[in-house]
Amino acid sequence: MKLYSYWRSTTSYRVRAALNLKGLAFETCPVDLVAGEQKAPSYTALNPGAGVPTLVLDDGTTLTQSMAILDYIDATWPQPRLIPADPLERARVLAVAHSVALDIHPVNNLRVVQALGTEFGATPAQKKAWMQDWMTKGFTAVEAQLPSNTPFAFGATPNIADLCIVAQMYNADRWEVALDAFPNLTRITANCLAVPAIMAAHPDNQPDAKET
């Protein structure tokens, strides 16, 4: 399999972590988002949304949208389970995963921050305030949905909610979001990073990682 990804991309981080947890080998194909490679016709032919990740299976089938890719991976290689089978448990886990993937990530995406500058003249400080504000609002909702007595989001092992959380918390750290009000998110992130398969998916451990 080939995973088109960018080292700092939180959507790529989710998928890398899932592939690693399942013990699946993949080749990383870097897409430099800062250089705009996601907009090149050769890439949008694979992923019309001009974003990463894109997973290309060994038979050439192309999958886009990180949450759909995670669903495919979990349905195809069920162990360890990332999306619970029980309908109620599944709904709770997906609610947290979607809070990150559908509420937080889209307003914090690179193209949005870039447009704040190019179309509305936002300064670097205003862009930072935007990122911090939306992440803080989103994390407040996520934190309230999490139990306080489990190592991971909903139990003893990481699931799709944990993968979304650990990736978004990387972005939060990058933008210096204050995390004092989020002990559940902080605990879950530390426990995720102690899992070698998740740590191997961390941005700093990717072949296209750059010094910052």
Residues at the interface with ligand GSH (CB under 6 A) = 9-11, 33, 38, 51-52, 65-67, 101, 109-111
Q: Which residues pair with 2 in a beta bridge?
A: 27, 56
- Cα 155-7-206 angle, rounded to 5 deg: 85
Provide, rounded to whole angstroms, the least separation between the CB of residue 49 and ligand GSH: 6
Q: What is the largest CA-CA distance in the chain?
A: 48
What whole-number distance in Å separates Cα of residue 49 and Cα of residue 34? 16
Provide, rounded to whole angstroms, the least separation between the CB of residue 139 and ligand GSH: 17
If the CB atoms of residues 132 and 150 are measured against ligand GSH, the closer one turns out to be: 132
Q: How long a stretch of residues is the chain? A: 212
Provide, rounded to whole angstroms, the least separation between the CB of residue 110 and ligand GSH: 4
Number of other residues whose CB lies within 10 A of the CB of residue 45: 9
If the CB atoms of residues 155 and 203 are measured against ligand GSH, the closer one turns out to be: 203
If the CB atoms of residues 101 and 185 are measured against ligand GSH, the closer one turns out to be: 101
If the CB atoms of residues 28 and 65 are measured against ligand GSH, the closer one turns out to be: 65
Neighbour-count burial of 166, counting CB atoms closer than 10 A to its CB (0-12 exposed, 13-18 middle, 19+ buried):
buried
Provide, rounded to whole angstroms, the least separation between the CB of residue 131 and ligand GSH: 13
